[in-house]
Amino acid sequence: MIDESVAPATRWALAFLRGLVSRGVRDIVISPGSRSQALALVAAELADRRLLAVHVVIDERVGAYLALGLAVESKRPVAIVVTSGTAVANLHPGVLEAHHAGVPLIVVTADRPDALRSTGANQTTTHIGAFGVAARKTIDSAPPGADAEGAGDACAAEAVSAAVNESGPIHVNAQFAEPLSSTLDAHEFDSVTPGELPAAVTARDSVEVAVADGTVVVAGYGAGARAEQWARELGAPLIAEIASGAHFGPHLVTDYRHLLSVPEFADAITSVVVVGRPTLSREITALCAREGVAVTVVRGPEAHPYRPTERAHLVDGITVTGDGDDLAKSWALPWARRSRITIDEKFAEPAANVEGSLAEKHADRADFARQEMLIQRQPVTPEMFVRAVWDVTWPHDRLVFGASRLIRVADSILPGKPLTVHSNRGLSGIDGTIATAQGIAAAAMADPEATQHGVTRVVLGDLAAQHDIGALANVRGRIQVIVGNDGGGRIFDDLPVAETANPTHFERVMRTPQNIDFEAAARAFGLDFHRVTTRGELTAALSEFARPTLVEVVLPRD
């Protein structure tokens, strides 16, 4: 029998959230608002019962990116709840990134009844279609009535199924009429039981790829470890971007930008297997566009698979035929060896003569101490910066790169290492990096299968930090926000416009240098702070992560 004292909005909210939990959703991000109060209050009760993890974020834009990070790391759909009006628009950047990256989100916007649309009612706009093509599916749920519980559960079932199978954002627009909420008896929550996600129903289009001279494997965003495995099976060189999930293994070629210009290597390429979506270099696009080079693209969940040429063959997977072990000795390994030699020569780490520390003569020991002091006092360069972060990061840690020059530096010089590396490469936007990293950190810490919880490090430039400065309010736990401050958008220095534009105008409207006091920002948000100018200071700062910390690394500005 229906308890008529309970508001239909609350009955729908309970049924909807119970439906999400029972179908495997574990996290929900909530921003405050009047129209969404029923969902927020029910979610809070479920959180008290440890049935749902609730993440409260004031700024909806930050909340969307935090949900994105939670979903990327947990590999589960994450729900977001906001009120009506501009709150919906604030979600758009994060929803766009999720759409292009293929990350499942369930975006719940609380709305007024459709009868009030286009009537000038306060805080009322058109939610339907607000996300355009970025919403893989839109569900406009009518104001709940007598069948509020059935309608809420059905809506949850449809939303979860769509998020899993469409692998992207699903928009649920929930229309609520007053009263907007009411209390529930405690026993109403007894029926909420966590369940598992439904299995995705997908068609698999796989092709055979034979072991042969001239094949190269390229791993872009979303590739994962399968790309490294296929490279070994094919006996092929592996060009794996730093955030591909495949930047490791004996066939890895870090110095690929240079080697693709060396005829001895580049002219021998006859086919390319691309896994995921490369985003960090023009050289890969140029390689795939060459006449006579066959291109097979193994697509992922992204909205628009990589399509460098109309000749590219899009598939869901490959099956390797033949044995690549013998071929690797003459084909893949020479690429990998040349790459390692070149990188070691270009970016050799300085070291004092250790034997000097053990010398009998005081002068020799003093000379060793002076050498070591000079090394530790070296100004930090971008290369030194990313290498130091890479060296202190372990497989149980998480590393997040922003869309700054630093990710390209890392991609160009860092050796192979099986780390979990994330970056928002769906649209490669500069915004939302800190919030995404916090979502990743929260999901990693909550993983019940993890045997060891590490630290999450987010590496970004000063402009990317400014874009997401409000996200510092949500930074919690073992996380380091490491800002490379080089006085603006130095990534534009590599574009042709840098050579042709008026230098004064270029500095003002392209580099756009900021003047944020990062120490004051850290204090304002309750974070520890370190300002780094030398190698020694960098090493010391990276070792302190018991509390959430902001590290400002001062980089050259010329």
pLDDT, residue 119, reads 76
Q: Which residues does residue 456 pair with via DSSP β-bridges, in sequence order? A: 398, 479
Mean pLDDT over the full length of the chain: 93
Q: Which two tokens stand for residue 337?
A: 């060896």
Cα R_g (the chain), whole angstroms: 26
Q: How confident is the model at residue 205 (pLDDT cuts 50, 70, 90)?
A: confident
Alpha helices in 468-507 (DSSP H): 497-500, 503-506
Task: Compute the distance between CA of residue 319 and CA of residue 135 in angstroms, rounded to an integer.
Answer: 33
How much of the chain, in percent, has pLDDT values that exceed 70?
Answer: 96
Could you tell me which residue, 305 or 375, shows the higher pLDDT?
305
* Each residue's pLDDT tens digit, 352-382: 666 666 666 767 667 767 777 888 899 999 9
* Each residue's pLDDT tens digit, 49-108: 999 999 999 999 999 999 999 999 999 999 999 999 999 999 999 999 999 999 999 999
- Lowest-confidence region among 129-133, 162-166, 364-368, 466-470: 364-368
Percentage helix, strand, coil, to 5, in the chain? 40, 20, 40
Q: How confident is the model at residue 451 (pLDDT cuts 50, 70, 90)?
A: confident
pLDDT, residue 345, reads 86
Report whether 166 contacts 32 (CB < 8 A): no
Could you tell me which residue, 4 or 466, shows the higher pLDDT?
466
Query: Exposed, middle or buried by CB within 10 Å (0-12, 13-18, 19+), for 444?
Result: buried
Q: How confident is the model at residue 448 (pLDDT cuts 50, 70, 90)?
A: confident
Identify the helix (H) or strand (E) that includes residue 460: strand 456-461
Given the candidates 3.40.50.2300, 3.40.50.970, 3.10.20.740, 3.30.750.210, the CATH classification of the domain at 8-185 is: 3.40.50.970
Q: Is domain 206-346 in CATH 1.10.10.60, yes or no?
A: no
The ranges assigned to domains in the chain are 8-185, 206-346, 377-554
Could you tell me which residue, 490 or 291, shows the higher pLDDT?
291
pLDDT, residue 492, reads 87
310: amino acid identity, one letter: E
pLDDT, residue 120, reads 74
pLDDT, residue 439, reads 98
- Lowest-confidence region among 145-154, 286-295, 362-371, 463-472: 362-371
pLDDT, residue 359, reads 63
Q: Which two tokens stand for residue 495?
A: 């574009």
Could you tell me which residue, 23 or 146, shows the higher pLDDT?
23
503: amino acid identity, one letter: P
* Each residue's pLDDT tens digit, 378-435: 999 999 999 999 999 999 999 999 999 999 999 999 999 999 999 999 999 999 999 9
pLDDT, residue 2, reads 61
Region 124-144: what's the mean pLDDT?
Answer: 94
Task: Compute the distance between CA of residue 9 and CA of residue 257 in angstroms, rounded to an integer.
Answer: 57
Residue 348 has pLDDT above 90, yes or no: no
Report whether 142 contacts 173 (CB < 8 A): no
Whole-model pTM? 0.94
293-298: Cβ within 8 A, 24+ apart: 293/269, 294/270, 295/271, 296/207, 296/209, 296/271, 296/272, 298/223, 298/273, 298/274
Region 151-175: what's the mean pLDDT?
Answer: 97
- Lowest-confidence region among 384-393, 440-449, 484-493: 484-493
Report whether 401 contacts 236 (CB < 8 A): no
Superfamily of domain 377-554: Thiamin diphosphate (ThDP)-binding fold, Pyr/PP domains (3.40.50.970)
Region 120-128: what's the mean pLDDT?
Answer: 84
- Lowest-confidence region among 147-156, 173-182, 342-351, 371-380: 342-351
